Structure 1
Amino acid sequence: MNNIEIRPLETMDELIEMQKVEESVWQADSIPVHQTYTVLNNGGIILGAFDQNKMIGFLYSFAGFDGKSAYLCSHELGILPAYRKGGLGERMKQMQADLAKEAGYEIITWTFDPLESVNAYLNLHKLGAEGVLYKENYYGVMEDELNQGLPSDRIHIKWKINQRNIVRDLSIQQSQVLLEKKQDGSPQITDVFDCMENQSNTVWYMAFPEDFQTLKSENIALAKTWRFATRTIFEALFADGYKAVDIIRDKAKKQSFYVLEK
């Protein structure tokens, strides 16, 4: 992956090429070029990843404002399947952060599906971003290949780009686990409200599937069970001031754990 060139997109032709990658990744309609070109010229940052001048990935972000301060909203990161799992996504996010810092931004925000373990691990563990808000069925019904069949729940990420790559020394304590994966693959749910009332933990752990796309294709009913079980815990903890700050992966047991900290 070291031979892949990452650079800002600048021309209409490059944005048209980006459309093709977007359509290939999501199997759905792409963002109009007139919109991406406008974003590019009004505070947005759009990166392309190239293998010998062929675009194989992109990262699309635009200027945002929450009524108090400006930030960069990172909306789409798409990489062709043959180029995934080689650290390219992390490289693109780090370049995005470097360019955002040069442009005067301090915060980058985005959303992601909390049950996609690869994205969760990149966002929280590798980049050091934090999940600060749970958004139930945020995009409504989605029919693209990656999202169809389930409510489009999302976690809202806040990445303080001047505080990147935070390293935590963590070990899971059983008394702090709110959700585990049973032998049949279903979630073993603990009464989150009872635990919060009777224990003053500053850290909680929550299991979730390691490969959610495979689970969806094999057992959509079980995938929905995981969606609703994790939703309950996320919403309860976020409402009480916790943040999702890291991911611990257990590949042998095909599960990961969220680390939620107050």
Structure 2
Amino acid sequence: MTLVGQAAGQAEAAARRSGVQIRELREIAEFELVVALYDGIWKAEPGNEPASVELMVALSHSGNYVSGAFDGTRLVGATVGFLAGPPGTALHSHVTGSVTGRGIGFALKLHQRAWALAQGLTQISWTYDPLVRRNAYFNITKLGARPEKYLRSFYGRMGDVINAGDESDRLLAVWRLAEPHVVAACSSEAEPPVLPGGTVVALDTEADLPVAGRVDGRVLLVRTPKDVETLRRTDPAAAKAWRHAVREALGGLMDGGARVTGFTADGYYIVERP
């Protein structure tokens, strides 16, 4: 079986497990459903929506990627992406949102991967908040994407209930679609990361606050907070401390040429020096 055919089969299987049908969206009424879904997730300030109807019309019309997951007639997930450089090789996934707890996000990403491979593309990129543990685990462990750049205050001020009051540091995740570990992850056959001997902890936690550790190892662990979104509401000072600590530890290591190679179930980035 070709990689394109295998990816299509993996996407269809994931959609069946989630109880949804996923398809590209092309009509204004469909894009209005996406706006309503995203508003329920992010509750953004007017004019600061993740994707407007007009943007989705333009993207879909010009051959980019806009898709939705339906449970019957109800839209329960959607993703919006656009072709990126180098030309003919990449898709940038701008925003994905879905109902949680059913594997719909995973099914959407596998549909996106199958679509990209069918277009002859080799990678998909997106950004995410390095402090949000569940997203890091999903992106790195569940999908097999790898963070390749630490982007400080990437979006500036963000006017939504999830990001309000925090700086918008992001990791650029790159999903290299044909890599063996990605193929295994999309088949739900990925193995949990195994830490080599001599691993050191560059950032840990004590009393739910970040504590700097050692940075002299070849393989290092960088801790994330348990739930930074709640922390932003209940203890903004602690959330700010985590932002700056992860920026210094993870961002500093990546700036120095280290690579993120995994993410543990208990919330550590695995970082390896060359």
Give the aligned partner of residue 19 of structure 2.
3
Give the aligned partner of residue 85 of structure 1.
101
Partner deviation per Cα, 1:64-101 (whole Å, 9 max, x = no partner): 125x764100010112xxx3032211111011001110
**Structure 2 residue 225 is the aligned partner of structure 1 residue 205:** no
Contact 1:60-1:76 at 8 Å conserved across structures: yes
The alpha carbon displacement at 1:41 in A equals 2.5
| Among candidates 212, 233, 240, match of residue 189 of structure 1 | 212
The alpha carbon displacement at 1:56 in A equals 1.7
Name the CA distance, whole Å, in 1 between partners of 2:226 and 2:40: 24
Contact 2:81-2:91 at 8 Å conserved across structures: yes
Name the CA distance, whole Å, in 1 between partners of 2:41 and 2:259: 30
The alpha carbon displacement at 1:216 in A equals 1.6
Number of aligned pairs? Answer: 245
Give the aligned partner of residue 253 of structure 1.
none
Paired letter, 2:213: T
Between 1:140-149 and 1:9-18, the stretch displaced more is 9-18
Question: Which secondary structure does the structure 1 equivalent of 2:18 belong to?
Answer: coil
| Among candidates 37, 54, 57, match of residue 34 of structure 1 | 54
What's the TM-score, normalizing by structure 2? 0.84
- Please give the residue correspondences for 1:1-262 in structure 2 after superposition, counting only pairs within 5 Å: 2-28=18-44, 29-30=48-49, 31-66=51-86, 70-79=89-98, 83-163=99-179, 164=182, 165=185, 167=191, 169-171=193-195, 175-182=199-206, 184-190=207-213, 192=215, 195=216, 199=217, 201=218, 203-250=219-266, 256-262=267-273
Name the CA distance, whole Å, in 1 between partners of 2:125 and 2:82: 10
The alpha carbon displacement at 1:191 in A equals 5.2
The alpha carbon displacement at 1:18 in A equals 1.0
Q: Percent identity?
A: 29
Contact 2:70-2:76 at 8 Å conserved across structures: yes
Name the CA distance, whole Å, in 1 between partners of 2:259 and 2:52: 35
Name the CA distance, whole Å, in 1 between partners of 2:213 and 2:196: 16
Name the CA distance, whole Å, in 2 between partners of 1:92 and 1:130: 18
- Structure 1, unaligned runs of 5 or more: 251-255
Contact 1:50-1:57 at 8 Å conserved across structures: yes
Question: Which secondary structure does the structure 2 equivalent of 1:209 belong to?
Answer: coil
- Structure 2, unaligned runs of 5 or more: 1-16
**RMSD value, Cα:** 1.8
